[in-house]
Amino acid sequence: MTIAPRRLGDFLGTWDLDRRIVQSDGQTARFSGQARWTPQGQGALHTETGQLTLDRHPPMQAERRYRWGADLTVWFEDGRFFHRVPPQGGRSDHWCDPDQYDAAYEFDDWPVFRVTWQVRGPRKDYTMTSLYRPLAAARP
């Protein structure tokens, strides 16, 4: 099966976001909210807002922002390079000394897509899976 390459314009808009984080010791967390890609200059601002629930803790509001380039490069809000999204899905990575972040982008069911990060190192050890659904498709 050939997957059409994704372009920045494919992501623009608002998506439902469901994320599950599983620590190596079995503890879990869940983020439920929305992701929004808004055009900004030649790229887009990617904002995630929602509720983060950790094992045995009350839910809390959470927000994160990234900057996306037209070439699908992703940058932290402070301007540091993060990684590049593979246009047809696949692997990407990020070294954040001393931890390694390995991503897998799955675009097989576009416009629904999944991103899984495997994080390993002396400070972090978890798997984070995020499922994105276009807002219109997420509601019956």
Domain of residue 22, CATH code: 2.40.128.20
Q: Is the pLDDT of residue 136 over 90?
A: no
Geometric angle at alpha carbon 18, from 51 and 74, rounded to 5°:
95
Distance between CA atoms of residues 91 and 85, nearest Å: 8
- Domain holding 73, by residue range, is 8-138
pLDDT-derived band at 139 (thresholds 50, 70, 90) equals very low
The C-alpha torsion from 94 through 80 and 84 to 127, rounded to 10°, is 40
Among residues of the chain, what percentage have pLDDT more than 70?
Answer: 96
| 59 located within any domain | yes
Task: Work out how many domains the chain is built from and give that number.
Answer: 1
- Is the residue at 102 inside a domain? yes
Domain assignment present for residue 34? The answer is: yes
Is 86 within 8 Å of 93 (Cβ atoms)?
no
Count CA within 13 A, CB hemisphere, residue 38. Answer: 8
In a domain, 107, yes or no: yes
- C-alpha span between 12 and 48 (Å, rounded): 13
The string of pLDDT tens digits covering residues 38-87 is 999 999 999 999 999 998 889 999 999 999 999 999 999 999 999 999 99
As a whole number, mean pLDDT of residues 10-25 equals 97
pLDDT at 138: 45
Domain contains 67: yes
In a domain, 3, yes or no: no
